Structure 1
Amino acid sequence: MTYVVTENCIKCKYTDCVEVCPVDCFYEGENMLVINPDECIDCGVCEPECPAEAIFPDSEDIAQKWAEQNREYSEKWPNITRQKDPLPDADEWKDKPGKAEMLSETPGSGD
């Protein structure tokens, strides 16, 4: 099992989860983070740290829809290993549903 970042992260990109990850398995896109499933050790420390409640075990239905995106983008985007400021309007987007169409495929800056 692994953990998956879902659409709740889009347009927020809080990085509290990155700070606690012991194996640095997060990757940064322009407006979202993803987890590399081959690097995640299933420790679960990231899940309660996410202010947007965007991280779920891959066994949950909501995560299964996002598992492939996490795998795909973790191979294209740069690794992020330290906490950064969230996107400027993250708090406005935090609890809004239906953000999947807003996912940017553009890589973030990484560390």
Structure 2
Amino acid sequence: MTFVVTEDCIRCKFTDCVDVCPVQCFYEGENMLVIHPGECIDCGICEPTCPVDAILPDSYPEAQQWLELNRKYSLEWPNLLTAKPAPADADEFQRVPDKYELHFSPRPATI
């Protein structure tokens, strides 16, 4: 089992999870994070630290659709090793529905 980042992270991109991850398995896109499923050790420490509940175990049915996205982009995006400030408008996007269709960016973060 692994954990996955879901649509709720898009345009919020809080990074509290990055600082608690013991194996540094988070990767950063332009407007969301993903978890590398092969690196995640299933400790679960990241899940309760996410202020928007965007992290789920892949055993949850609603997480399955995000597993491949996490796998794909964790191989393309840069590894994020420390937390950084959330986007200025993150609070405005916390409860926005259908964020994947409307706001997802496949581009990597610019470091």
**What is the TM-score normalised by the length of structure 2?**
0.96
CA distance in structure 2 between the partners assigned to 1:27 and 1:108 by the alignment: 9
Q: Which residue is equivalent to 1:64?
A: 64
Report the Cα offset of residue 51 of structure 1: 0.6
CA distance in structure 2 between the partners assigned to 1:97 and 1:49 by the alignment: 21
Q: Which residue is equivalent to 2:109?
A: 108
> Aligned residues: percent identity?
61
Q: Which residue is equivalent to 1:12?
A: 12
CA distance in structure 2 between the partners assigned to 1:91 and 1:103 by the alignment: 16
Specify the SS of the correspondent of 2:63.
helix
Specify the SS of the correspondent of 1:56.
strand
Report the Cα offset of residue 96 of structure 1: 1.6
How many residues end up aligned between the 2 structures? 110
Question: Counterparts of 1:1-111 in structure 2 under 5 Å?
Answer: 1-101=1-101, 102-109=103-110
- The residue type paired with residue 65 of structure 1 is Q
Structure 1 stretches of 4+ with a deviation exceeding 4 A read: none
The Cα RMSD (Å) is: 0.8
Report the Cα offset of residue 109 of structure 1: 3.0
Gaps of 5+ in 1: none
Report the Cα offset of residue 87 of structure 1: 1.1
